[in-house]
Chain A
Amino acid sequence: MLFKTKSFDDAPVVLSIEDLTVRLSGVNDTVRPVLDRISFQIRAGETVCLVGESGSGKSVTSLATMGLLPKGALEVSNGRIMLGETNLLSLSAGQMRDMRARNLSMVFQEPMTALNPVMRVGAQIEEVLDTHMRLSKKEKKARVLDIMEQVHLPDVERIYRSFPHQLSGGQRQRIMIAMALILEPKLLIADEPTTALDVTTQRQILSLIAELQEKHGTAVLFITHDMGVVAEIADTVQVMKHGELVERAPVETLLRNPQEDYTKSLLRAVPSLTPRPERVSKPPKGGPALSVEDLNKTYGSSGWFVNRSTTLAARDVSFDIPAGRTLGIVGESGSGKSTVARCIMRLIDPTEGSVRVAGTEIARLSRADLRPHRKHIQIVFQDPFRSLNPRWTVGRSLVEGPLNLGQDKASAMARARELMALVGLPEDAVDRYPHQFSGGQRQRIAIARAIAMEPDVLVADEAVSALDVSVQAQVLDLLDELQQKLGIAILFITHDLRVAAQICDEVIVMQKGRVVEHGKAGAVLADPQHPYTRSLIEAAPGRAWDFANFRELGALAAQ
Chain B
Amino acid sequence: MSDAMTPASRLQPVLGLLSLPGQMRRLGGGPMIAALVLVLIVIAAIFAPLYIPHDPLTINATQRLKGPSEMFPLGTDAFGRDLFSRVVMGARVSLFIGVGAAVVSVALGLAIGLVSGFFRLADAIIMRFMDALMAIPSILLAIALVALNGPSLWSVIAAITLPEIPRVVRLVRSVVLSVREEPYVEAAISLGSSMPKILWQHLMPNTLAPLTVQGTYICASAILTEAILSFLGAGVSTEIPTWGNIMAEGRVYFQIKPSLIFWPGLMLSLCILSINLLGDTARDLLDPRLRKREG
Contact = CB atoms under 8 A, between A and B. Distances in A.
To the question of whether A and B form a pair in one complex, the answer is yes
Interface in A425-478: 435, 439, 446, 449, 453, 465-468
Of A34, A195, A371, chain B has the most CB atoms within 10 Å of the CB of A371
A378 B186 CA distance: 11
Interface string A353-391: 000000000000001000110110111011100111101
A59 B4 CA distance: 10
Interface in B190-221: 190-195, 202, 205
A467 B3 CA distance: 9
B36 interface: no
Interface residues of A, number: 51
Contacts of B205: 391
Interface stretch (B7-15, B106-114, B121-129, B275-283): B7-15
Q: Is the interface of A mostly helix, strand, loop or mixed?
A: loop
Given A109-B4, A386-B182, A466-B1, A379 B202 contact: no
Interface in A167-197: 192, 195-196
Nearest to A459: B190
Contacts of B191: 374, 378, 400-401, 404, 449, 453
A278 to B, nearest CB: 31
Contacts of B10: 54-55
Nearest to B8: A70
A27 B192 contact: no
Contacts of A387: 183-184, 187
B202 A389 contact: yes
Contacts of A466: 1-2
A26 B23 CA distance: 13
A430 B284 CA distance: 30
Of A367, A386, A446, chain B has the most CB atoms within 10 Å of the CB of A386
A63 interface: yes
A403 B109 CA distance: 30
Given A24-B18, A73-B15, A391-B205, A195 B4 contact: yes
B252 interface: no
A375 B192 contact: yes
B2 A63 contact: no
B197 to A, nearest CB: 8
A196 B4 contact: yes
B7 A60 contact: yes
A468 B183 CA distance: 20
Contacts of A381: 183, 186-187
Given A73-B8, A466-B2, A347 B193 contact: no
A110 B6 CA distance: 10
10 closest Cβ contacts across the A-B interface?
A401-B191, A374-B192, A381-B183, A387-B183, A70-B8, A54-B2, A404-B192, A59-B7, A389-B184, A371-B192
Interface of A: 24, 26-27, 34, 53-55, 59-60, 63, 70, 73-74, 109-110, 192, 195-196, 225, 345, 347, 367, 371-372, 374-375, 377-379, 381-383, 386-389, 391, 397, 400-401, 404-405, 435, 439, 446, 449, 453, 465-468
